[in-house]
């Protein structure tokens, strides 16, 4: 089967169907195309002798099996994918030249939903943020919106990400996840209070992927044809509604199935019940940035009081035909941006812009972008070349620049937008931290039943913390967010409320 580089001219499923419909008539072959005569009995030296090395089919079958796995994603290893389309509606073309938003434009998409911390095949019922990554195959290259179901994140600087993940992953000495380790980390990271409050609510256990919203989390820049930009946050609104599981419901499902979320998506698409999400955007002008009492480029914050505009609808309507080729080898990266969309100065996003493309060089290889699931609809015409598993279409002799040969066109309209700067280089935290207020606002927005579940969920893990200093530091963060929240949690884990109150009083927003 020949697959075209840099073109999804034939959908992958059509190519795979061609391959599988041919299966019945075609003889079984080795990877060089040569027919196989016996796939059940190894070639031996007579009836009682050893197996022969010259049985090239046996050798190749074992070799290929031995190499079936690639490294799983370092985070978000457990996931499921689906194909679909995004139809733009609602005009934001005055803010961005990105063609994907021209009203009426239909763009093919591939989405991968995931859990974060545990390995591939871990239970889908576990408390975790859910990944919601969308690849838009636009006519000007692929745009990946790599988001989560929750609208904020635990930290605001990429420098902290590897440490945070180490604390949340199973311990290196026991291979067990341990609240003592991750609360030890978070007790030093007060900006995590907002995310932890959302995560320990029932939003941390969505009923399934169809019933959750998605969020870009960071501010991006939308850039117009003149290089003028605004800041923008994206949100996917589930047309199926948002449904979550209580801890008891999650435990009940887990006792009979640890694949319920993948199964739900696959079965719904098979039934023709295609899930849909509306995409909304919030816009902030650069001159508005300083007017907030928090830093709007801090991903631990939501943009309260900024209206949303609907910009289109996504429908997922096709299951992958080959999970490894499509879902596992899909490579989403915040660096995959298109003209009209750029990263903001958000320090977490800046780290992500590097990290995903980098891990994919290791996980899939330097030519991951040539695989059909990752290939752009727009022809790739770079001077990058070679590398492991290259099936690219580059031809010709001039793979450098400048040259006497006519150069590849580089229209000035595609240059990055310009940001004016002042000051010196520095290593310092942001000025307006406001670590606790939005956590308290979220707590107060919950119903009585939702608050009860949050307290029970959080107390369940906090109650396992053996170190007093860690426990009291964590409780003081929740107390600072909201006094009722802190008091109830303290009672639930049998801590001294007066000690929690005095620690909270010493905290700075």
For residue 133, count CB atoms less than 10 angstroms from its CB and return exposed for 0-12, middle for 13-18, buried for 19 or more: buried
- Contact between 352 and ligand HEM per CB under 6 A: yes
Decide: is 125 part of the binding site for ligand HEM (CB under 6 A).
no
For 272, the token pair is 């023709």
Position among 6, 80, 107, 114 found at the interface with ligand HEM (CB under 6 A): 114
- Residue 348 touching ligand HEM (CB under 6 A): yes
Least distance from ligand HEM to the Cβ atom of residue 156, Å? 9
443 binds ligand HEM (CB under 6 A): no
- Binding residue (CB under 6 A) for ligand HEM from 96, 148, 149, 336: 148
Residues 406, 394: Cα–Cα separation, whole Å: 16
Residues 190 to 209 in contact with ligand HEM, rule: CB under 6 A: none
93 vs 359, which CB is nearer to ligand HEM? 359
Start-to-end Cα distance in the chain = 60
- Asked if 356 and 333 touch (Cβ cutoff 8 Å), the reply is yes
Is 166 annotated in the active site?
Answer: no
* Phi/psi at 368 (5° precision): -55, -35
Selected from 313, 360, 367, 470, the binder of ligand HEM by CB under 6 A is 360
Helix (H, G, I), strand (E, B) or coil at 143: strand
128 or 482, CB closer to ligand HEM? 128
List 6, 16, 124, 147, residue binding ligand HEM (CB under 6 A): 147
Q: Which is nearer to ligand HEM, 204 or 486 (CB)?
A: 204
Helix (H, G, I), strand (E, B) or coil at 151: coil
Write a three-state SS string for 217-249.
CCCEEEECCCCCEEEEEEEEEECCCCCECCHHH
CB 327 to ligand HEM: min, Å: 8
Q: Which of 195, 269, 331, 373 binds ligand HEM (CB under 6 A)?
A: 331
**Toward ligand HEM, which CB reaches closer, 132 or 472?**
132
The residue count of the chain comes to: 509
Helices and strands in the chain: count of H runs, count of E runs:
14, 10
Nearest CA to 232 out of 86, 349, 76 is that of: 349
Contact segment (CB under 6 A) with ligand HEM among 117-125, 146-154, 283-291, 433-441 equals 146-154
**Binding to ligand HEM by residue 153, rule CB under 6 A?**
yes
Name the segment binding ligand HEM (CB under 6 A); options: 71-79, 336-344, 439-447, 457-465. 71-79
Count of residues that interact with ligand HEM, criterion CB under 6 A:
28
Which one from 57, 76, 260, 477 is the annotated catalytic residue? 76
- Which is closer to ligand HEM, CB of 74 or CB of 171? 74
Is 332 a residue that touches ligand HEM (CB under 6 A)? Answer: yes
Active site residue 218: no
Print burial letters for 238-266: b (CB count within 10 Å at least 16), e (below 16).
Answer: bebeeebbbbeebeebbeeebebbbebbb
Largest CA distance in the chain: 85
* Shortest separation between residue 357's beta carbon and ligand HEM, angstroms: 9
Report how far Cα 347 is from the mean position of its chain's Cα atoms. Answer: 17
Please tell me which residue in 5, 118, 142, 148 is annotated as part of the active site: 148
Pick from 213, 189, 71: nearest CA to 129: 213
- Which of 5, 57, 76, 233 is close enough to bind ligand HEM by CB under 6 A? 76
Q: Which residues contact 414 (CB under 8 A, 6 or more apart)?
A: 339
DSSP bridge pairs for 83: 110, 318
What is the Cα gyration radius of the chain? 26
| Interface contacts to ligand HEM, rule CB under 6 A | 73-76, 79, 112, 114, 131, 133, 146-148, 153, 158, 161, 217, 299, 330-332, 348, 351-352, 355-356, 359-360, 363
Q: Active-site residues: which are they?
A: 76, 148
């Amino acid at each position: 089967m020949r697959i075209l580089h840099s073109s999804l001219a034939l959908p992958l499923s059509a190519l795979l169907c061609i391959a599988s419909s041919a299966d019945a008539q075609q003889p079984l072959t080795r990877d060089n195309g040569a027919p196989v005569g016996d796939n059940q009995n190894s070639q031996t030296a007579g009836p009682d002798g050893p197996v022969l090395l010259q049985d090239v089919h046996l050798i190749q079958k074992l070799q290929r099996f031995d190499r079936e796995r690639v490294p799983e994603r370092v985070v978000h290893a457990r996931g499921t994918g689906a194909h679909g389309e995004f139809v733009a509606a609602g005009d934001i073309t005055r803010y961005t030249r990105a063609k994907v938003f021209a009203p009426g434009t239909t763009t093919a998409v591939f989405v991968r939903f995931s859990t974060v911390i545990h390995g591939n095949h871990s239970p889908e019922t576990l408390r975790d943020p859910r990944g919601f990554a969308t690849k838009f195959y636009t006519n000007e290259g692929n745009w990946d919106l790599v988001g989560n179901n929750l609208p904020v994140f635990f930290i605001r600087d990429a420098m902290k990400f590897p440490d945070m993940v180490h604390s949340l992953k199973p311990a290196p000495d026991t291979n067990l996840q341990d609240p003592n380790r991750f609360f030890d980390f978070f007790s030093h990271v007060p900006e995590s209070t907002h995310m932890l409050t959302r995560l320990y609510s029932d939003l941390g256990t969505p009923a399934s992927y169809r019933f959750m919203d998605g969020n870009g989390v960071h501010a991006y820049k939308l850039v117009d044809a003149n290089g003028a930009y605004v800041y923008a946050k994206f949100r996917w609104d589930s047309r199926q509604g948002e449904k979550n599981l209580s801890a008891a419901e999650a435990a009940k499902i887990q006792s009979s199935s640890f694949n319920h979320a993948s199964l739900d998506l696959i079965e719904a698409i098979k039934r023709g019940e295609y899930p849909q999400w509306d995409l909304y955007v919030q816009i902030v002008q650069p001159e508005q940035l300083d007017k907030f009492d928090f830093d709007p480029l801090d991903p631990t914050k939501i943009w309260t009081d900024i209206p949303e505009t609907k910009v289109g609808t996504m429908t997922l309507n096709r299951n992958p035909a080959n999970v490894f080729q499509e879902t596992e080898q899909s490579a989403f990266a915040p660096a995959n941006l298109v003209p009209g969309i750029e990263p903001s100065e958000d320090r977490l996003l800046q780290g992500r812009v590097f990290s995903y493309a980098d891990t994919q060089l290791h996980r899939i290889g330097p030519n991951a972008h040539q695989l059909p699931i990752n290939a752009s609809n727009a022809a790739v015409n770079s001077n990058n070349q070679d590398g492991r598993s290259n099936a690219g279409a580059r031809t010709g002799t001039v793979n450098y620049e400048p040259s006497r040969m006519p150069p590849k066109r580089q229209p000035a309209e595609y240059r990055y937008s310009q940001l004016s700067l002042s000051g010196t280089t520095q290593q310092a935290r942001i000025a307006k931290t406001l670590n606790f207020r939005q956590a308290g606002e979220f707590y107060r927005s919950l119903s009585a039943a939702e608050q009860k579940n949050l307290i029970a969920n959080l107390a369940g893990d906090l109650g396992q913390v053996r170190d007093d200093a860690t426990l009291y530091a964590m409780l003081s963060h929740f107390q600072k967010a909201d006094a009722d929240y802190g008091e109830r949690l303290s009672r639930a884990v049998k801590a001294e409320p007066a000690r929690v109150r005095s620690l909270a009083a010493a905290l700075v927003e």
